[in-house]
Amino acid sequence: MTNQSKISFLLKNIGRALIYAITIAIAYYFFKEYIITESQEVWLQKFYSRPTLIYLIYIGSELFFGLFPPEFFMLWAYHKGDIYHYALNLAFFAGVSYGAGYLSFLIGRYLKRVLFFRYMSRKLFLKYWPLFRKFGSVLIVAAALTPIPWSLISMLVGTTAYPIKRYTYFALFRILRFLVYGYIIFQTHQF
């Protein structure tokens, strides 16, 4: 596998992530302008009066293959308080996401020895096995930066003989995603 094809794969997925981010931004804009404009206080009260519930939903989402995009929680955090609280929330979200990926990696390490899991993993990882064989570490980076399911890829990598030190190194790109998206959300809400 050439480096050029790996870079091409990564850039293609980053392009998809940009389209994904633009789609979320447009949906957020329409939601904000046309749905919650009339009863903004009611909507805000529902989401901002119970932060523990939001944090638990986020943790569950990250543990169960990213049911909700982290960007939704970043938007929630932006409206929750000042810049200090926003930065703390971003750090929390990034830490939970990195930790959920690491936990999934360890679960993959453990479950690869379970016969039933070997059978199930053929179906669970069907789409991503060939990509991992072809791109290796680049798939970890792509999953960390883009909407490719982070926990699922981490579990897949855990089922292989991939070195844990290398995984933790490449998984740090997940934190970069939160920094970049958090910065973009912060900058777009300054106007």
According to the model, what pLDDT value does residue 66 have?
72
First to last CA, the chain: 45
Half-sphere exposure (CA, 13 Å, Cβ side) for 93? 30
Entry pTM: 0.79
Q: Where are the alpha helices (DSSP H) in 31-172?
A: 40-48, 51-63, 70-80, 83-111, 115-124, 129-135, 137-145, 150-158, 164-171
Cβ atoms of 56 and 68 closer than 8 Å:
no
- CA distances (Å), 112 to each of 57, 147, 160, 183, in order? 28, 25, 8, 38
Count CB neighbours of 81 within 10 A.
13
DSSP code of residue 190 = -
pLDDT in tens, the chain (191 residues): 576 776 777 677 777 777 777 777 677 667 666 655 555 555 556 666 778 888 888 998 888 877 788 888 888 888 777 889 889 999 999 999 999 999 999 988 888 777 666 666 667 777 788 888 888 888 898 888 888 888 888 988 998 889 999 999 999 999 999 998 888 888 876 54
Q: Is residue 128 helix, strand or coil?
A: coil
According to the model, what pLDDT value does residue 82 have?
82
